[in-house]
Structure 1
Amino acid sequence: MLSTMGSRYVNNTHLSSRVSRLNLDWIDPDQSSDKESEAFQRAMELSDRYHAKSWLPARSIVMECLLARWSVDPSGEIMVLTRSCPWKLHLFELEEEMKIEPPIKYVVYEDDRKHWKVKAVTVGPDRFESRKALASQWRGLRDEELSKAAGIPGCVFVHMSGFVGGNQSYEGALAMAKASLKFD
């Protein structure tokens, strides 16, 4: 279920928003075609840099991880991200293009602080509702209390909404994802 807070949130950090901010401001007194061309050129450079250095390499990583999903779990519903990168939009696009069935429910990855996370995939790229949230019995629990409830050592937390959880190890995060698949 989406909260009212979630439905009001707007992601304005994506590439199109960044490019849009390079447009001339309506109150700028110099609205010349030279200024407009200069702004357009900056937008093109930003877009080219982003696609070449970030977007395309991330897509390749996500595709490799998506193709390897069956070796992670026989359900094919868990993907392990082998390298930190922007993955969410790529996952949705690749699932559609490749007609992935069943869809990925969880992504296991190591964050930039070297902590292992299991993230429930949302129903859509701009949505907050999860396809399958982490086990309801675990939500809001931490550390030893969570490890005991889950029967999985090294648990760190599961968010109250079940959209993300953490474990001290890769094996633990993967076990959390596998166990959550079995819960309602």
Structure 2
Amino acid sequence: MADASPPKRPTPIWIGTHSGTFHCDEVVACFMLRQLPEYENAEIFRSRDNTALREKCDIIVDVGGVYDHAKRWYDHHQTSFKETFNILRPEVAKDFNIRLSSAGLIYTHYGERVIESILKRERNVQLSPDNLQLAFVQIYRNFIRELDAIDNGEVMFEGGEPRYGIHSHLSARVGRLNPSWQDTNVDIEQRFKQAMDLAGREFVDNVLEVACSWIPARDHVRDALKEAKSVYPTGEILLLTTFCPWKAHLADVEKEYQVEGVPKLIIFSDGTGWRVAGVPLSPVSFVGRKFLPTSWRGKRDEELSELAGVKDLIFVHHSGFIGGAKTKEAALAMAKKSLEWKDE
């Protein structure tokens, strides 16, 4: 009896991108795709031969001169490409007007599924639809947008407020993994894999931080806003009973309760004492809705307490955006006096 034929090996799946010097956007794009079940075992094919890429690859990123979601071609270098996050996903975001890189393109189309896959694998966590959307937007804001902006050479400032923030410097660190002009015997494909490992670890960490820490913080901010008028009659002082990342949540929660712009100061514990901070005009703004009094700024300890008429004060920053106190009671008094203080 003849031996049975060996089983056919499955046809490999290929992700295509450009060869030569690599950049953070396609590195992150390739990593994100590999988090999806259909691409988790995909090989990376790096080339600038468009014919070869299209014949071989199931999906192509950052090369080819075409953006066509139906064909799974995701380049952003062509002059006709104008897409931004808020253009492609207007139902979830209105204020992200940075031109997308290949990282942003892949994230915009596949990001929710990537997040779900990572959370299931790493923590066996499933977010509600509302929280998944929150995570999707926040990860773009704090991780992907930076990559889009740097890859496209977008200016950070137009007017007084930054259009994006630099949170990771990942683009520069990935760039340093490219061989230098003096390196002659370097396997650039191995370097590309190193870059994917580096960027991938940081992306996963960001997903976990947002889903498991940042999103739960919203409930604490909501509680502080609910109780604001019991702290101060006008609702201008918030008291966080548990410290958490609050800035990115406050504007959204204010809209829920129709009190946009009302909170001026927020009080929270830093673990050893208490802080009174001005609420910024936006989460990334350096301008506050309210600063601590001019005459208090730069003062410390007894001098500050005597000037303010409040015991147990520690300091006020020279810019007035934050101050410290030894006790919650002192911080509350500091905040109330700040609202009522008339600077000379």
Q: TM-score over 0.5 for the alignment?
A: yes
Which amino acid is 1:70 matched to?
A: K
Q: CA deviation at 1:7?
A: 7.7
Displacement of 1:102: 4.9
Q: Within 1, Cα distance between the matches of 2:235 and 2:166?
A: 32
Q: Determine if the alignment matches structure 1 residue 99 to structure 2 residue 253.
A: no
Deviation, 1:66, is: 1.4
Q: Deviations over 1:48-88 (max 9, x none)?
A: 31232111111111111111111111110100111121111
Question: Quick one: distance in 2 between partners of 1:41 and 1:145?
Answer: 50
Determine which structure has greater relative contact order: mean sequence separation of CA pairs < 8 Å that are 6+ residues apart, divided by chain length: 1
Relative to structure 1, is the Cα distance of residues 153 and 99 closer, same or farther in structure 2, using a 3 angstrom cutoff?
Answer: same
The residue matched to 1:149 in structure 2 has which SS?
helix
Which residue of the partner structure matches residue 64 of structure 2? none
Map 1:169-184 onto structure 2 (within 5 A).
Answer: 169-184=327-342
Q: Distance in 1 between matches of 2:311 and 2:193?
A: 62
Contact kept, 8 Å, 1:22 with 1:43, in 2: the verdict is no
1:128–1:40 CA distance, 2 compared to 1 (3 A): closer
Deviates more, 1:164-173 or 1:100-109: 100-109
Which residue identity does 1:30 align to in structure 2? E
Alignment of 1:81-100 (within 5 A): 81-100=240-259
- The residue aligned with 1:3 is none
Instruction: Determine whether 1:141 maps to 2:299.
Output: yes
Aligned to 1:59: 218
Q: Secondary structure at the match of 2:268?
A: strand
Is 1:125 aligned to residue 276 of structure 2? no
1:110 aligns with 2:264: no
Where does the alignment leave 5 or more consecutive residues of structure 2 unmatched? 1-159, 180-187
Q: Residue type of the partner of 2:178?
A: I
SS at match of 2:189: coil
Matches within 5 A, 1:36-51: 42=201, 45-51=204-210
So what's the TM-score if we normalise by structure 1? 0.78
Preserved contact between residue 251 and residue 260 of structure 2 (Cα < 8 Å)? no
Whole-Å Cα distance in 2 between the matches of residues 107 and 122 of structure 1?
A: 10
Alpha carbons of 1:30 and 1:130: their partners in 2 closer, same or farther (altered >3 Å)?
Answer: same
TM-score calculated relative to the size of structure 2: 0.44
Change (3 A) 1:40 1:135: closer
Matched residue pairs, number?
173
Specify every segment of 5 or more residues in structure 1 that has no aligned partner in the other structure, as ranges. Answer: 1-5
What is the deviation of 1:100?
Answer: 1.4
Quick check: 2:268–2:276 contact (8 Å CA) kept in 1?
yes
Which contiguous aligned blocks of 4+ residues in structure 1 show a shift greater than 4 angstroms? 20-26, 31-44
